[in-house]
Amino acid sequence: MVVSLVLKVKPQPHPATKLRPQLLKPLVFFSKYRYLCFPPTPRPPSAVIGAGIGGSSAAHFLRQQFGEGVKIDVYESKAVGGHFATANISGQEYEIGATTIHPLNLHTKEFVRMLGLKERKHPDNLLAVYDGEEFVFEESDWFIVNIIKLIWRYGFDILRMKMWVESYLHRFMKVYQYQTHGYSFTSLEKLLHEVGGDEFVQMTKHSIDEALQQIGISQRFMNEMVTPIMRLNYGQSVNINAFVGMTSLLAAESDLWTVDGGNKLICAGLLYSAKVNLIKGKVTSVNTKKRPLRNGEVITAYEVNYTAGPDTGYNMYDIVIVATPLHQGVSKITFQDLSQPIRTDCGQYQQKVVTLVEGRLNASYFGHRGPGRFRTTAIVTMEHSSTSILAANVLGPVTMAADYQIPPPTATCVWKVLSREPLAEQQLSRLFVSRSAMRETRWMAYPRYSPPEKVPPFLLHDRIYYLNAIEWAASTVEMIAVAAKNAALLSYHRWFQQLDRIDQDYLQQRLKVEL
């Protein structure tokens, strides 16, 4: 409250007054008072490395937090959007990276609203589960038939699982309340603990398999439903940690949406509205440089070196936000002359290959005799199925007419096929009866989960913040946005030494009292 009042009454000094100190006398009271609120300088120049959803939302939240005057440079070596990307097939664009967003992903929803973009419901696919020889479960057009089929085969496992997932989701929503009140955390563990207590922290330490067995989910449901969903979303089995497993089950719900025109519009929009300076270059190193102040104090600044084609350059910053994974040379950034060494190499990232194929699927490959009754538009696969594909589904373009309907799977349509390794020509020619166009993308996608996860901190050094640590709990667009908001709050409170907004306990009780 005090801060905002002072901000309102503080007159903007006229540029000319800077040169004539005697004119400042009447303002001394104000500037002294101001200093109580702004110890170092209100405008720390900041660098954001990466312009995926992490970097662009971090830039947006930094602008929100520090205001108009602060300089924000965003470095991007490839294309704005990162994992939000599209490819062009026969004159239309298709999502080839992160595609679906959950209706309760509040930060992402707010970006879309603020930028005037349009949410589009992700078309409902008809799902089938492939065991290597045939479909063990096949959805039909009829909701009620699906429910009966599910209960027939799995009892009430589906309900039990849904209730489990939703109870965690509702508890996780507290994070938005804390962030709205300005609270921030220096590590993932502290964030998870404040949101969901020991139970949430433990979720990164055991597998989704153990968690679901504890609530009595049958082995059959694990093999035929849960495992295929994990393979679809994270290319792994039920050995992944329970937190990312829970998130992955959420991504199997209905009511998912994407951005009309392409998800990457969010990133471009955020960078534009935050008025950042976008530097098309690859950051090679971040080094500390000591800078003496006039009062004798020495402060550290960060020198960010980058290459842009044949050229190299560098700039100095007070705050650096790393918004790209630092594992296995994914980003190839070195940190030099830091007082404490930075350790982020505690695990590995895994590859995911997305192959878009325009063509007709070979229904007999999936054990269907004639193509006549083949209605499936989304296929997930069981763990020991001989096929090398993780999943496949029919995909609509990023802009579609209002009356767009997914084409019947036996017609020519665009399929998105997921695999760990690139598909060989021989595999593709068995999978499709005919093909007219193809685009392959190899992503260094997300962590290879292996609980208990070893998670790097959000705070890498005095004023270097790291978003992608949160991917070790779960790699999703919204989790990265939560980490971006956290980093903006954390950097702000640390800069102005507002320690009562960092790593606080009992927030739930405290907020009740404040309200």
Ligand X SMILES: Cc1cc2nc3c(=O)[nH]c(=O)nc-3n(C[C@H](O)[C@H](O)[C@H](O)COP(=O)(O)OP(=O)(O)OC[C@H]3O[C@@H](n4cnc5c(N)ncnc54)[C@H](O)[C@@H]3O)c2cc1C
Closest distance between ligand X and the C-beta of residue 175, in Å? 15
Residue 327 binds ligand X, judged by CB under 6 A: no
- Residue 513 near residue 181, CB atoms below 8 Å: no
Residue 443 binds ligand X, judged by CB under 6 A: yes
Q: Which is closer to ligand X, CB of 82 or CB of 363?
A: 82
Q: Which is closer to ligand X, CB of 242 or CB of 354?
A: 354
Site string for ligand NAG, 240-279 (x = CB under 6 A): ----------------------------------------
- Residue 170 near residue 436, CB atoms below 8 Å: no
Answer for which of 52, 269, 397, 447 binds ligand X (CB under 6 A) is: 52
Answer for which of 46, 47, 48, 55 binds ligand X (CB under 6 A) is: 55
List, as own/partner pairs, every contact residues 212-216 make where C-beta atoms lie below 8 angstroms and the sequence separation is at least 24, other chains included: 212/161, 212/164, 212/238, 212/245, 215/160, 215/161, 215/164, 216/160
Site string for ligand X, 251-290 (x = CB under 6 A): -------------------------------xx-------
Residue 365 binds ligand NAG, judged by CB under 6 A: yes
DSSP 8-state class, residue 42: S
Instruction: Tell me which of ligand NAG, ligand X, none is bound by residue 77, counting a contact when its beta carbon lies within the kind-specific cut-off of 5 to 8 angstroms.
Output: ligand X
The H or E element containing residue 316 is: strand 311-317
Residue by residue, DSSP assigns 177-241 as HHHHTT-B-SSHHHHHHHHHHHHHHHHTTSBHHHHHHHTT--HHHIIIIIHHHHHHHHSS-TTSB
Residue 307 binds ligand NAG, judged by CB under 6 A: no
Answer for which of 191, 203, 342, 354 binds ligand X (CB under 6 A) is: 354
SS3 105: coil
Cis, bond preceding 452 (omega within 30 deg of 0): yes
Contacts (CB under 6 A) with ligand X, residues 453-472: 467-468
Answer for which of 184, 355, 475, 491 binds ligand X (CB under 6 A) is: 475
SS3 433: strand
Instruction: Tell me which of ligand NAG, ligand X, none is bound by residue 503, counting a contact when its beta carbon lies within the kind-specific cut-off of 5 to 8 angstroms.
Output: none
Residue 393 binds ligand X, judged by CB under 6 A: no
Number of residues written out for the chain: 515
Find all residues with CB under 8 Å of 278, minimum gap 6, and list them.
51, 73, 74, 76, 80, 271
Residue 245 binds ligand X, judged by CB under 6 A: no
Residue 287 binds ligand NAG, judged by CB under 6 A: yes
Q: Which is closer to ligand X, CB of 96 or CB of 150?
A: 96
**Alpha carbon distance 39, 405 (integer Å):** 59
Q: Which is closer to ligand NAG, CB of 179 or CB of 305?
A: 305
The number of beta carbons lying within 10 Å of the beta carbon of residue 165 is 19
Q: Which is closer to ligand NAG, CB of 273 or CB of 285?
A: 285
**Residues touching ligand NAG, count (CB under 6 A):** 14
Site string for ligand NAG, 415-454 (x = CB under 6 A): --------------xx--x---------------------
Radius of gyration of the chain (CA): 25
Dihedral of alpha carbons 360, 392, 476, 169, sign? positive
Scanning 88-96, 156-164, 382-390, 464-472 for contacts with ligand NAG by CB under 6 A, the matching segment is 88-96
Question: Which residue from 397, 483, 493, 454 is spatially nearest to 50, judged by alpha carbons?
Answer: 483
Answer for which of 31, 64, 140, 364 binds ligand NAG (CB under 6 A) is: 364
Instruction: Tell me which of ligand NAG, ligand X, none is bound by residue 314, counting a contact when its beta carbon lies within the kind-specific cut-off of 5 to 8 angstroms.
Output: ligand NAG
Answer for which of 333, 361, 392, 487 binds ligand X (CB under 6 A) is: 333
Residue 289 binds ligand NAG, judged by CB under 6 A: no
Answer for which of 44, 46, 48, 51 binds ligand X (CB under 6 A) is: 51
SS3 77: coil
Instruction: Tell me which of ligand NAG, ligand X, none is bound by residue 118, counting a contact when its beta carbon lies within the kind-specific cut-off of 5 to 8 angstroms.
Output: none
- Residue 452 near residue 205, CB atoms below 8 Å: yes
- Residue 464 near residue 317, CB atoms below 8 Å: no
Dihedral of alpha carbons 492, 498, 500, 504, sign? positive
Residue ranges that bind ligand X, judged by CB under 6 A? 49-55, 75-78, 82-83, 97-100, 282-283, 323-324, 331-333, 352, 354, 443, 445-446, 467-468, 475-478, 480
